[in-house]
């Protein structure tokens, strides 16, 4: 993958969900630019294999991994403790791990899985790392959202789909939450040299949805004919994580390396503040 930026030497970059799909390609591209890359994944075997693959492909030996099931708040806290034991700076955080769940499931902490993994994970991990990120500034946070956030809303009366669960509604809500979290965090980071932006990678041929049985996998396999490759899907991640063109740009939403408007609901200041408060309560910070 090409990039306009080759000055990532000496920068610590953490990429979550880096054992597959868009995340792996992002981690690989940053490693190719000379960054010190920290992969986050939930499977030791997959992490070890991905690190080996990236080292072989890029010739960069500074690629390591940390383990966590990011739907678990306890494991996110453990991950951050391990991070602090090993590193003293974080220049780039790419919040990318996510999934779609056709049937309602709950995380080990008893929170609906889509909300726990796709939103509360980004929220808690970022907040726990924020002091380190600020101390490493100029620094960047990149939140992977989705086209699915258009038309979604945050259902404060039933955030976890306890009364009624439809996977697409839950997924859209979580991806709208990614955008609202990004904008609210950007407002809270005003006056610092930390930027935070969200993006839509496009429809990408990855293993997303793999947790939902053979029927879903079959449909996704068929749809792949129209999808972007993971290399194409990761371009905006890499752009926001590394390009000089977006230096100082914050609180924006991107698609295909261009700033675009997100859904009108994402600009609701009151809802964003409320989402922040509810999320803080749910993760206990």
Ligand X SMILES: NC(=O)c1ccc[n+]([C@@H]2O[C@H](COP(=O)([O-])OP(=O)(O)OC[C@H]3O[C@@H](n4cnc5c(N)ncnc54)[C@H](OP(=O)(O)O)[C@@H]3O)[C@@H](O)[C@H]2O)c1
Q: Which residues bind ligand X (CB under 6 A)?
A: 17-23, 41-43, 46, 69-71, 96-99, 117, 144, 146, 201, 203-204, 206-208, 210
Q: How far apart are CA 103 and CA 165, in angstroms?
A: 8
- Which residues 6+ apart lie within 8 Å of 183 measured at CB? 198, 251, 266, 267, 272
Q: Please indicate whether residue 183 is annotated as part of the active site.
A: no
What is the nearest approach in angstroms of ligand X to the Cβ of residue 176? 12
Nearest to 206 by CA among 229, 173, 239, 234: 229
Closest CB to ligand X among residues 237, 242:
237
**Active site residue: 171, 183, 239, 253, which one?**
171
Strand partners for 200: 255
Closest CB to ligand X among residues 96, 136:
96
Q: How far apart are CA 169 and CA 11, in angstroms?
A: 37
Phi-psi region of 67 (alpha: psi -120 to 50; beta: other; left: phi over 0): beta
Instruction: Give Cα separations from 54 to 30, 46, 49, 86, 118 (angstroms).
Output: 10, 12, 9, 20, 25
Closest CB to ligand X among residues 89, 224:
224
Strand partners for 40: 16, 66
What is the nearest approach in angstroms of ligand X to the Cβ of residue 191? 29
What is the nearest approach in angstroms of ligand X to the Cβ of residue 209? 7
Closest CB to ligand X among residues 42, 77:
42
Nearest to 184 by CA among 127, 112, 131: 127
What is the nearest approach in angstroms of ligand X to the Cβ of residue 122? 9
What is the nearest approach in angstroms of ligand X to the Cβ of residue 248? 25
Closest CB to ligand X among residues 189, 234:
234
Which residue's CB comes closest to ligand X? 21
Cβ contact 282:106 at 8 Å: no
Strand 63-67 with 139-144, pairing? unpaired
Catalytic positions, written as ranges: 171
């Amino acid at each position: 993958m090409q990039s306009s930026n080759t000055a990532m030497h000496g920068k610590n970059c953490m990429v979550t969900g880096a054992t597959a799909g868009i995340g792996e390609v992002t981690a690989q591209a940053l490693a190719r630019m000379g960054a010190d890359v920290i992969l986050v994944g939930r499977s030791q075997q997959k992490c070890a294999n991905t690190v080996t693959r990236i080292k072989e492909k890029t010739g960069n030996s500074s690629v390591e991994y940390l383990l966590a099931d990011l739907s678990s708040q306890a494991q996110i806290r453990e991950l951050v403790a391990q991070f602090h034991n090993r590193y003293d700076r974080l220049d780039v955080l790419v919040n990318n791990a996510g999934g779609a769940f056709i049937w309602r499931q709950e995380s080990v902490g008893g929170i609906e899985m889509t909300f726990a993994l796709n939103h509360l994970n980004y929220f808690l991990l970022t907040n726990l790392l924020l002091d380190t990120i600020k101390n490493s500034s100029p620094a960047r946070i990149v939140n992977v959202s989705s086209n699915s956030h258009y038309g979604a809303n945050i259902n404060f009366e039933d955030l976890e789909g306890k009364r009624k669960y439809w996977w697409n509604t839950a997924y859209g809500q979580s991806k709208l939450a990614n955008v609202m979290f990004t904008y609210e965090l950007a407002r809270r980071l005003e006056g610092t040299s930390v930027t935070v932006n969200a993006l839509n990678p496009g429809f990408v041929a990855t293993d997303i949805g793999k947790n939902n049985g053979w029927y879903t996998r079959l449909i996704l396999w068929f749809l792949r004919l129209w999808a972007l490759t993971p290399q194409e899907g990761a371009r905006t991640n890499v752009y926001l994580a590394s390009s000089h063109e977006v230096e100082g740009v914050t609180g924006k939403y991107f698609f295909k390396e261009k700033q675009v408007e997100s859904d009108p609901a994402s600009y609701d200041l009151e809802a964003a503040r409320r989402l922040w408060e509810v999320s803080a309560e749910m993760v206990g910070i």
